[in-house]
Structure 1
């Protein structure tokens, strides 16, 4: 596999991983709300925000590479 193709594949896998983390955080938050666990909901909210923060470099990266 060429280095350029591998980099693209690696970036795609990383983004898919973060999307799965976001979905997991949303389900955790929904479960916390359903059970009335506000501490769990707060923790899930912080985790969700952290996932979006980690995605910032992918969204605002230089696409010329």
Structure 2
């Protein structure tokens, strides 16, 4: 597997985690549970923190 393909899989995985965090936030808002909302926001922030180095260290195009 080329470095670019490996990066694509990593990046796609983190994007999916980020999308799921958004759905968790949506669900938490509908439930009105403050702890659930806070935990979901932390999950979203963590996903974004992990996405930054993945994006910045992407290999050049094939």
TM-score, normalised to structure 1's length? 0.81
Q: CA RMSD in A?
A: 1.6
Greater relative contact order (CA < 8 Å, ≥ 6 in sequence):
2
CA-CA distance at 1:60 after TM superposition: 2.2
* Conserved? CA contact 2:29–2:37, under 8 Å: yes
Size of the aligned set, in residue pairs, is: 60
1:6-50 CA-to-partner distances (Å, cap 9, x unmatched) read 211110000000000011000011001001111011001001000
- Give 4+ residue runs of structure 1 displaced > 6 Å after superposition: none
Equivalent residue for 1:32, pick from 10, 28, 32:
28
Partner of 1:58: 54
What runs of 5+ residues in structure 1 fail to find an aligned partner?
A: none
Alignment of 1:8-19 (within 5 A): 8-19=4-15
